[in-house]
Each structure stands twice: as structure tokens, then as C-alpha cells.
Amino acid sequence: MKKITILGGVLLCFIMSVSTVHAQDSPQSDVRVKQRMLLNQFESDYVLTANERVALKQARLAYQYRMKELLDSIDISEGKRRRLLQELKRNPLSEKVQAVIANHISPDKNIEQ
């Protein structure tokens, strides 16, 4: 009886680990949106189409990527850069990140471009 219980526990752990490993290996799409929303049933004028939502999401991701590139190009300490990147992940439109970028980018570079 004791061997069957131990064998059952080992088998259960094996099955759970296989599903976890399989979930890690499965490809994930970068942009997913719901095709139908509940609000669409009642107030269809307020809801954007799926293509518009995908475009907005891709624009937000591009903006975050650009802000990350700007933070990586600025000469600041690694600790501050790490904190700002975490802030950027939490809040893409963070005023802290905007202030640091505005303070470290000279106006001459913007005029030349």
C-alpha cells in the first residue's frame, strides 16, 4: 500500500511537470485581443474593432520599445536605469521616465534631426 501511494505521488508530480514544460515551450503570440466584447452587444458605438485594437496595442508596444532604447542610450547608473525600466513596465506613460529622458537629451540633438 505504501509503495502504491509513493508511486502515485511520483506519477502525479511527473504529470504536472510535463504540462508545465509543455506550456513553456508552446509559442505565444505577441498580440492577442478578444474578437467580441460584451460591451459590443449593448453599445457598439463605443467599442473599437479588433483591427483597431490590435493597431493600438502594437503602437503602445512600439512606444515602450522606443522608450527602453532611449533609456539604454542615456548615461545613467545601472540602478537608476533598472528602476526606470521597472517603472516603464508598470506605467508606460510614466512622468518619471519622461522627466529623466527630457533632462538627459539635449535640445541641440533634437534641432539637428
In this structure, are residues 67 and 96 in contact, taking their beta carbons and an 8 Å threshold? no
Q: Which helix (H) or strand (E) holds 31?
A: none
Cell 505504501 appears where?
2
Which pLDDT score, from 0 to 100, does residue 44 have?
67
Which pLDDT score, from 0 to 100, does residue 37 have?
63
What is the separation of C-alpha 111 from the centre of its chain, rounded to a whole number of angstroms? 32
What is the separation of C-alpha 48 from the centre of its chain, rounded to a whole number of angstroms? 21
- Provide the residue-wise pLDDT of the chain in tens; the chain has 113 residues: 788 888 888 877 778 777 665 555 555 555 565 556 666 667 667 777 778 889 999 998 899 899 889 888 888 899 999 999 999 889 888 888 888 888 887 665 554 44
Which pLDDT score, from 0 to 100, does residue 111 have?
47
What's this model's pTM, rounded to 2 decimal places?
A: 0.52
